[in-house]
Amino acid sequence: METDSPAPRSIVIVGGGTSGWMTASYLAAAFGDRVSITLVESGRIGTIGVGEATFSDIRHFFDFLGLDETEWMPACNATYKLAVRFENWRRPGHHFYHPFEQMRSVDGFPLTDWWLREPVTDRFDRDCFVIASLCDAGRNPRHLDGRLFEQDFVERRDGNARSTIAAYQGAQIPYAYHFEAHLLAKFLTGYATQRGVRHVVDDVDDVAVDGRGWVTHVRTREHGDLTGDLFVDCTGFRALLLNKKLAEPFVSYQDTLPNDSAVALQVPLDMAARGIRPCTTATAQDAGWIWTIPLFGRIGTGYVYARDYCEPEEAERVLREFVGPEAADVPANHIRMRIGRSRNSWVNNVVAVGLSSGFVEPLESTGIFFIHHAIEQLVKFFPGPDWNPTLRTMYNSAIAHCMDGVREFLVLHYKGAARDDNAYWRDAKTRVIPDGLAERLELWQTKLPDAETVFPYYHGLPPYSYMCILLGTGGIPLRPSPALRLADEQAARKEFQALRDKADELVRALPSQHEYFSRMRRQQSGL
């Protein structure tokens, strides 16, 4: 046991942005005034601003903070996200959805198995999920009066308990969010400081450690030394405390995920005329893919690519051409991405959260999910007076498993993509993949993924997500369970028809996103 340090009652968060202020807000909500929290951030370093799309579990974050959507969404130009829409991954002109929707089953077999046996149409996503139709029609998941659309997820609004990812594993929330990352950081700054978090705007010039390698304080340019018991490194890809000062090794994923760069644009558009599609779009390109994230007053867009196949100037040209003339005068933000994770995200009394901990490309919007998951795990394994190292070990295991699992899932997108029209996409079929994924691919070609055959540790992605990517990308041969040859398909046919009827009903009944959020804003302003 490590007993030379006091129980952590003083927390110093180094770095702001989304990761820093999410951490400060969550810890303030979890511990109240029983700990003191200081966040120091430079006034000269801006947020990267790529992380504008989220995972559906993010609703637990706002629930834990006690925030209603009407409080924070208008302030962050936020919209709903029901799915990820993948365009051109199989062939030009083809698209499919990975929706936030629980998979239905008939007689113990998922609908996707029945669909493989006897497809209703050539669109597995529309045949097996309601949300695909809502996305195609541009529908909002809530009625104008705020009621959530009718599906299997039951909303709890009693206010008596704060929800967490850990408590709701297996319960599929039917939507996530799009928001402006810098506006969310600004909103959470107000939330956290109102709850006692000290905010210091200054540059950190030095990090001091004692003889054991534990951080004692950070030295700032104008505010002197900031001391603490526990330090949270939210300094982004620099990983100032964890990697630079404590020299914790970095485990690269570059051999399996070669995309290492991005160029991003924030493009103002008339979203009332354009419409706010309720999904993130990932459009395959010659050296990667382009994201499109619709917000209330603009889109966020960017090209994620591999420099081995494309130069930054070419990537920017392709992105501007993709967006059209509206992007002509919009400044571009070029980003080098560090793909992988720190060997351990918690070393001594330093915990890295966000990009300083690790990052995979934003193909499934997992960046903010990693932040949220890490903060929850920190609260779960928060140390006591003895600083029991077993808590650190369990934390590091949970973080590593989560990132390694997401890595496997993203690799599947490229390995499974049917397109092979250039070197980038051909190489995706022969590139090394994690050993575990290679074994699982063999199994999935005989039987679709289930809870027994996906990555075995929690990483936020249920078996149906793997089914969607395999069925949508189209490059890996699949077949239905042999047992279905002997089964009566009448019940499955009825379920397919019931799902189609429900989708048609919701498309007629639900409003558009712009209509819904315009109404929310009017109500908030009292008009």
Q: What is the DSSP string of 295-357?
A: -SSEEEEEEEE-TTT--HHHHHHHHHHHH-GGGTTPPPEEEE---EEES-SEETTEEE-GGGT
Task: Give the number of other Cβ atoms within 10 Å of residue 267's Cβ.
Answer: 18
**Spatial separation of the C-alpha atoms in residues 110 and 380, rounded to whole Å:** 34
Tracing tokens 């807000």 back to the chain, one arrives at 25
Pairing relationship of beta strands 83-87 and 280-285 according to DSSP bridges: parallel
**Spatial separation of the C-alpha atoms in residues 372 and 184, rounded to whole Å:** 14
**Spatial separation of the C-alpha atoms in residues 293 and 177, rounded to whole Å:** 10
Contact 29, 65 (CB under 8 A): yes
**Spatial separation of the C-alpha atoms in residues 276 and 298, rounded to whole Å:** 9
The verdict on whether 81 is a catalytic residue reads: yes
248: number of CA atoms within 13 Å, CB side? 27
Contact 473, 86 (CB under 8 A): yes
**Spatial separation of the C-alpha atoms in residues 43 and 224, rounded to whole Å:** 16
Environment class of 371 (CB within 10 Å of its CB; exposed 0-12, middle 13-18, buried 19+): buried
Radius of gyration in angstroms for the set of CA atoms belonging to the chain, rounded to a whole number: 23
For residue 343, give both structure tokens.
Answer: 């060997």
Please list, in sequence order, all residues whose beta carbon lies within 8 angstroms of the beta carbon of residue 182, skipping any fewer than 6 positions away.
17, 46, 47, 49
- Residue 461 DSSP code: -
**Spatial separation of the C-alpha atoms in residues 319 and 312, rounded to whole Å:** 11
Q: Choosing from 81, 244, 415, 429, which is the catalytic residue?
A: 81
Look at residues 314, 76, 45, 111 and name the one whose alpha carbon lies nearest to residue 186. Answer: 76
Catalytic residue positions, numbered: 81
